[in-house]
């Protein structure tokens, strides 16, 4: 639970091996968080040594994005380990290639289930807990890929568009409860998950995304972009005529 000066004390990371998610957790630990739960399929047997070195107690928990019936139990398990959840970081996902998805529709559907419907059940389970607590923040990793879906990655982008809309609606549903949602829209972030993707303009490192999240949590923002310049860039892209839009590459 947050201390008397509002410092985050407990953090749950859904997608416990996510490089961006772990960068956010490390940032919060550097700022005072002391209890961390890393939730991932099979648990996280070897959590980053940096977290313990910074003084955090790190727990591991089973979490399967494709098993929505278990998501409430995962949240309950985290509460049993650390008590009230100050910040929950929703960072799980998969990133395949558009060509592979078009060649294997079943694989595309499985990826969409992880990148969208898994977040619906997990997000509602977290929201129920935060509403009961009367405080806490859910950080949802959306993407600029969902702001306006492009043809080169429309399976991934359409799932992110759904997630972004879901997160905004969830935020409105929590208004007045003491709990809130922070939507994060990074652009291209070089990580192991995106290693097969060509770099795009205005990249951000995981640490820069974490910095944006930290600032957003402190300011009470509802949405942050990483880097910030992507907000005006995509405001313009939303207005771009479709014949031009469909010819764009990355």
Query: CA 51 to CA 25: how far, in whole Å?
Result: 8
pLDDT at 2 over 70: no
| Contact indicator for 243, 57 with CB cutoff of 8 Å | no
Catalytic residue among 101, 116, 156, 188: 156
Active site residue 156: yes
| Contact indicator for 179, 136 with CB cutoff of 8 Å | yes
Share of the chain above pLDDT 70, in %: 97
- The per-residue pLDDT for 98 is 93
- 149-194: pLDDT as tens digits: 999 899 999 999 999 999 999 999 999 999 999 999 999 999 988 8
Please provide the size of the chain in residues: 250
Predicted TM-score of the model (pTM) = 0.94
């Amino acid at each position: 639970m947050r201390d008397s000066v509002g410092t985050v004390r407990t953090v749950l990371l859904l997608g416990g091996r996510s490089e961006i998610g772990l960068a956010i957790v490390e940032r919060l630990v550097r700022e005072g968080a002391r209890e961390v739960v890393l939730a991932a399929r099979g648990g996280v047997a070897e959590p980053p040594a940096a977290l313990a070195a910074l003084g955090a107690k790190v727990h591991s928990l089973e979490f399967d994005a494709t098993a929505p019936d278990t998501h409430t139990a995962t949240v309950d398990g985290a509460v049993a380990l650390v008590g009230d959840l100050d910040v929950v970081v929703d960072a799980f996902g998969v990133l395949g290639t558009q060509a592979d998805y078009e060649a294997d529709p079943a694989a595309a559907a499985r990826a969409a289930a992880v990148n969208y419907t898994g977040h619906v059940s997990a997000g509602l389970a977290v929201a129920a807990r935060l509403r009961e607590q009367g405080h806490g923040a859910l950080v949802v990793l959306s993407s600029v890929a969902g702001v306006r879906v492009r043809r080169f990655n429309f399976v991934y982008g359409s799932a992110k568009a759904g997630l972004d809309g879901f997160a905004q609606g969830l935020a409105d549903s929590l208004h007045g409860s003491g709990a809130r949602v922070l939507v994060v829209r990074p652009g291209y972030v070089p990580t192991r998950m995106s290693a097969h993707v060509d770099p795009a303009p205005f990249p951000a490192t995981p640490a820069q995304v974490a910095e944006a999240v930290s600032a957003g949590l402190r300011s009470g923002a509802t949405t942050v972009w990483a880097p910030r310049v992507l907000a005006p860039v995509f405001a313009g892209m939303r207005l771009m005529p479709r014949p031009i839009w469909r010819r764009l590459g990355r």
